[in-house]
Amino acid sequence: MANIASAKKRIQKSERQRVANRLHRSRMRTAVKKLRGLVASGDADAARAALPGTLGIVDSCAGKGVIHANTASRTKSRLTRAVAKLG
């Protein structure tokens, strides 16, 4: 356990960030999973409607540093291609 005040503060801050990052990551994964489900079911209209919101959530996570920018780009690219492939 930390003895120095600044180290104690850093531990508290890290815990708050961990919880926040977990919340954002979970929200992103849920949105991506729902979109992939729509793509798998072949529901093109619903998938097209859900795509912008999902991409926004992925961008938001990348902007907050929850995921790497390249990971966000790759995820967005794959989702966009999957929706486009529906027709």
* pLDDT tens figures, 41-76: 999 999 999 999 999 999 999 999 999 999 999 999
Range of the domain at 39: 22-85
37: in domain: yes
For residues 47 and 38, the answer to whether their CB atoms sit within 8 Å is yes
| Continuous segment of H or E residues that includes residue 58 | helix 44-64
Alpha carbon separation from 64 to 1, 17, 29, 72, 79 (Å, rounded): 28, 10, 15, 11, 20
Is 12 part of a structural domain of the chain?
Answer: no
Taking the mean position of all CA atoms in its chain, how far away is CA 22? 10
- Tell me, yes or no, whether 31 lies in a domain: yes
pTM reported for the whole predicted model: 0.87
Q: Domain of 76: which CATH number?
A: 1.20.58.110
What pLDDT band is residue 2 in, cutting at 50, 70 and 90? confident
For the chain, helix, strand, coil in percent to 5 are 85, 0, 15
Mean pLDDT across the stretch 71-84?
97
User: How many domains would you assign to the chain?
Assistant: 1
Examine residue 13 and state whether it is found in any structural domain, yes or no: no
